[in-house]
Chain A
Amino acid sequence: MLQVKNIVKRFGDKEAVRGVSLEVGRGESFGLLGPNGAGKSTTISIICGLLRPDQGEVIVGGHSVAEEPVKAKRVMGVVPQDIALYPTLSARENLAFWGSLYDLSGRELQSRMDEALEIVSLTDRQKDRINTYSGGMKRRINVAAALLHRPQLLIMDEPTVGIDPQSRNNILETVRRLNQEKSMTVLYTSHYMEEVEYLCQRLAIIDHGQVIARGSLDEVRHLVGTDATIRLKIANPDEALVAASADVPGVRQARADEGALVALVSDAAAVLSPLMATVAGQGKKVTGIEVQEPNLEAVFLHLTGRALRD
């Protein structure tokens, strides 16, 4: 559905995108993860045909964005990072305008607007002006405007920035449903790793204009190793407890750490139960449990030495 071939974009002396290549299959949900200023939005702008790459090519639905922009743009629905709506128009008037630019008209346009409003659960507020909406509701209409022409590829550029948890969940649920139930291909950019983990089957991590990691969620997570961490809160974990815990099958390493027993394990689900039994056998009482699986935040930290939201 989407092929990005070695694109480069320079702004003066600065190289914002340095040879990015991506491939997203039909029906797939693909995440583009990276901190602010990593080059995600520039990459998205090139894919959408808003910027011309200095080098490389983008193919959408079999159409070159540079050579067949109109055909390529019909395949895409774009949810921009900004709330690109007209505040003095109602939600329905905004959707009518954006739908018209996708050549929708008459009854077809009306039914598509009804459908899009229902998807984002804002049918009851459709006649209200956008400037009376909350930030989260504006974001949802921002998404609805990209769905009117039933795109095969939905491109979302950080669509949940600065909104309340309820609207964020609504957007994430909507995207997941569109991907799973309607087989809509999704390219989702974010610097929130939990969103990408929730929505995407595959992802690429981008930093300083380059892809620094790519693959399935598990493949990328395991770049930092496969160990999960189990942390059991115990008053006075002694050496005998640490030694007994280290002998539990599946535990690679155990240590005492500030009122807790910390164990590095290959499979947390399998190890947790025998580990708890061992602790009980040592006459200790567990007052709290934390399990930390390897995650994308850790991957990014591992690859760049920086946190994702730095």
Chain B
Amino acid sequence: MRKVYVIAANSLTRSARDRRSLIMLLVMPLVLIAILGITLGNMMSGGKISTFRVVVVNQDQGAALPAGPGLNLGKTLAEDVFGSAEARRVMVAAPAADFESAQAEVTAGRAVAAVYVPPTYSADILAGRTTRIQVVTDPGQPTLAHIVMQVVGGFADQVSFGNLAARALGPDQARQLLTARAKSPLLDEKSLPRLQEVSSGARPVSGLQYYAAAMAIMFMVMTAFTRARDILQERQGGTLSRMLATPTSSRQIAAGQILGSMVVLLAQFLVLMLGTHFFYGVYWGPWIPVLALGLAFTLASTGIATLTAAYARDPHVVDLAVGLAGNIFAVLSGGMFPLYLFPPGLQAVARLIPNYWGLKGFLDQMGGVGPGGLTLPLLVLAVTGLATGLLGARRLATREV
């Protein structure tokens, strides 16, 4: 067992000596937590969302009908939809005379989006012709832009139904249907990115809390795969062969390498957790469940990374895995943007990724869910870690140099 500790300690010392790794391990996540938590976190503060500006250019001249009142869908969008109580909680819709000046507002950063309804919009819809609403958004505000797109997209969905009705039933019946549907609430509670939707607990979770957990998870996965790459580099650089030429068994070596990875990951988790707690005032939840979750997530990410190291031949392949696992897993599991913004299909896919269970577990603890909410994430992470870790360790121990 002493040799296992010696190999693990060697791993830890080398990680501590590598400045680039230390920056990736600790500094980057702390900086990102601060940036993301502060910039996006205000949308996660339980209804206290600071509003943003949308410029609406409604040039729709409406459509007159032989019987009854005419129809102006552009006006409905500008006044009834963007002016609804739900929408006004997050955005202020300002009118503009033309699309160019509206776009200039977006370019200058004074508005998140410019929405343009063309003059013949209602007439085209009622005539069953193809038409479109144009939206220009600020690429620097992807989440807020997403909300605007969701509002306009929802409105367009309702209207396209009327468009179909006009083709099938005629304009009069289409108008009746449209008048009823287009005003229906399009921006409901679910459309707003508030974290209470994620956390099922009693306590609201702030943006800083959310990103503290999400970034800790993302960087732990990246560290796990970086360690897997180091194991492969030991194979290529000759130090593994040299270890195997000593009276040390391949099992001891594999165990030492895995233990080293786990210690590095756990240390990273503790530094990020304590760092965000003391520097940013992040409340992670009760200590024991949080530490248990940290350990289980360490086990899961080490296991998957070990399995990768055991079967990969080229460290560059693992580098690719660092990118995939670190970034794509993080996005898919809600590490970058809250998961409820995703379509249901992607939300289901997220459940296959350990990041999802880690994030869910931590958010539940932050949100005040009791120990009952801990069981499933702990179980999934522990089983994933043990299964992949044992398989990887077995292969590492039997693989020829």
Greatest chain A CB density within 10 A among B239, B247, B401 is at B247
Assess the B237–A84 pair: CB atoms within 8 A. yes
**Minimum Cβ distance to chain A for residue B9 (Å):** 9
A97-B10, A100-B6 given; A80·B247 CB < 8 A: no
* B13 interfacial contact with A, CB 8 Å: yes
A97 CA to B246 CA in the complex, in Å? 11
* A73 interfacial contact with B, CB 8 Å: yes
**Minimum Cβ distance to chain B for residue A214 (Å):** 25
Q: Contacts of B401 on A, CB cut-off 8 Å?
A: 45, 50-51
A101 CA to B242 CA in the complex, in Å? 10
* A236 interfacial contact with B, CB 8 Å: no
Residue of B nearest to A79 (CB): B242
| Set A76, A84, A145: member contacting B241, Cβ < 8 A | A84
A83-B238, A84-B239, A101-B6 given; A76·B14 CB < 8 A: no
* B400 interfacial contact with A, CB 8 Å: yes
User: Interface digits, A73-104 against B, CB 8 Å rule (1 contact, 0 not)?
Assistant: 11010101111111011000100011011110
Assess the B246–A102 pair: CB atoms within 8 A. yes
* B244 interfacial contact with A, CB 8 Å: yes
* B108 interfacial contact with A, CB 8 Å: no
User: Interface digits, B229-255 against A, CB 8 Å rule (1 contact, 0 not)?
Assistant: 000000001110111111111000000
Q: Contacts of B242 on A, CB cut-off 8 Å?
A: 78, 80, 84, 98, 145
Assess the A97–B6 pair: CB atoms within 8 A. yes
| Set A49, A76, A89: member contacting B13, Cβ < 8 A | A89
A247 CA to B13 CA in the complex, in Å? 75
A78 CA to B241 CA in the complex, in Å? 10
Assess the A80–B17 pair: CB atoms within 8 A. no
* A308 interfacial contact with B, CB 8 Å: no
A254 CA to B88 CA in the complex, in Å? 111
Q: Contacts of B249 on A, CB cut-off 8 Å?
A: 70
Q: By the criterion of a CB under 8 Å from any partner CB, how many residues of chain A are at the interface?
A: 31
A51 CA to B248 CA in the complex, in Å? 15
A80 CA to B241 CA in the complex, in Å? 8
Residue of B nearest to A129 (CB): B17
Q: Contacts of A83 on B, CB cut-off 8 Å?
A: 238
Residue of B nearest to A82 (CB): B238
User: Interface digits, B186-198 against A, CB 8 Å rule (1 contact, 0 not)?
Assistant: 0000000000000
* B351 interfacial contact with A, CB 8 Å: no
**Minimum Cβ distance to chain A for residue B70 (Å):** 77
A82 CA to B242 CA in the complex, in Å? 9
A85-B239, A88-B14, A88-B17 given; A49·B3 CB < 8 A: no
* A48 interfacial contact with B, CB 8 Å: yes
Residue of A nearest to B256 (CB): A101
* A150 interfacial contact with B, CB 8 Å: no
User: Interface digits, B59-70 against A, CB 8 Å rule (1 contact, 0 not)?
Assistant: 000000000000
Residue of A nearest to B240 (CB): A84
Q: Contacts of B241 on A, CB cut-off 8 Å?
A: 45, 48, 50, 80, 82, 84
Q: Contacts of B247 on A, CB cut-off 8 Å?
A: 69-71, 73-74, 101-103
Assess the A84–B13 pair: CB atoms within 8 A. no
Q: Contacts of B2 on A, CB cut-off 8 Å?
A: 100, 105
Assess the A80–B238 pair: CB atoms within 8 A. yes
Q: Contacts of B14 on A, CB cut-off 8 Å?
A: 86, 88-89
Q: Contacts of B244 on A, CB cut-off 8 Å?
A: 48-50
A102 CA to B246 CA in the complex, in Å? 6
* A208 interfacial contact with B, CB 8 Å: no
Assess the A100–B3 pair: CB atoms within 8 A. yes
A60 CA to B336 CA in the complex, in Å? 58
A98 CA to B238 CA in the complex, in Å? 13
A310 CA to B393 CA in the complex, in Å? 41
| Set A74, A93, A101: member contacting B3, Cβ < 8 A | A101
Assess the A101–B238 pair: CB atoms within 8 A. no
A110 CA to B401 CA in the complex, in Å? 30
Assess the B245–A78 pair: CB atoms within 8 A. yes
Assess the A89–B237 pair: CB atoms within 8 A. no
**Minimum Cβ distance to chain B for residue A41 (Å):** 10
A51-B401, A101-B3 given; A82·B237 CB < 8 A: yes
Residue of B nearest to A155 (CB): B245
A89 CA to B366 CA in the complex, in Å? 40
Q: Contacts of A76 on B, CB cut-off 8 Å?
A: 245
**Minimum Cβ distance to chain A for residue B162 (Å):** 68
A73 CA to B250 CA in the complex, in Å? 13
User: Interface digits, A47-59 against B, CB 8 Å rule (1 contact, 0 not)?
Assistant: 0111110000000
Can you offer 7 A-B residue contacts whose CB atoms are under 8 A?
A51-B400, A80-B242, A81-B238, A84-B239, A97-B6, A101-B247, A103-B247
- List 19 additional contacts besides A80-B245, A82-B237, A101-B246; criterion CB under 8 Å: A45-B241, A48-B245, A49-B245, A50-B401, A51-B401, A70-B249, A73-B247, A78-B242, A78-B245, A84-B241, A84-B242, A85-B239, A88-B17, A88-B18, A89-B13, A93-B13, A100-B6, A101-B243, A102-B247
The 5 closest A-B pairs by CB, nearest first: A82-B238, A84-B238, A84-B242, A101-B246, A88-B17
